[in-house]
Amino acid sequence: MKDSEIKFKINLDDSNLPKSITWDATDKEADGYESTKSISLNVWDNLNQSTLRIDLWTDEMSVAEMKRFYIDVIGGMAQTILNSTGDEYMSEEMKELCDRLVSHVNEENAKS
């Protein structure tokens, strides 16, 4: 058995808002910390039977990027629920939501 670590470093401004976010992981291809504009971390709190969430983003992340990020997150969760539970209905509903959200974002972009 081996240990694997994922580390995040958050640089905060005077108002405690993220100015920069970097991350590193023992199992990623490149060595050293890499920059990112946003993280979304969800942890199951077994004691309280609830989800703990940390959502952080820098002011460099555009609205369009944020929308794309969360569509990708939901799509990834759809695949995870399928892989972990075999629940095709729930996975398909989530994928269909992603499709609707992509259409919504595309319509917004066409208006701009």
Band (62; pLDDT cuts 50, 70, 90) = very high
Sign of the Cα torsion 58, 62, 63, 69 reads negative
**Does the pTM of the predicted model rise above 0.95?**
no
User: Structure tokens of 28?
Assistant: 């990623």
**What are the tens digits of pLDDT across the range 63-82?**
999 999 999 999 999 999 99
- Mean pLDDT taken over the chain: 96
pLDDT over 90 (residue 91): yes
User: Structure tokens of 56?
Assistant: 């952080």
3-state secondary structure 4-50: CCEEEEEEECCCCCEEEEEEEECCCCCCCCEEECEEEEEEEECCCCE
Residue 112 has a pLDDT of 81
Q: Are 66 and 38 in contact (CB under 8 A)?
A: yes
Q: Where are the domains of the chain?
A: 1-59, 62-112
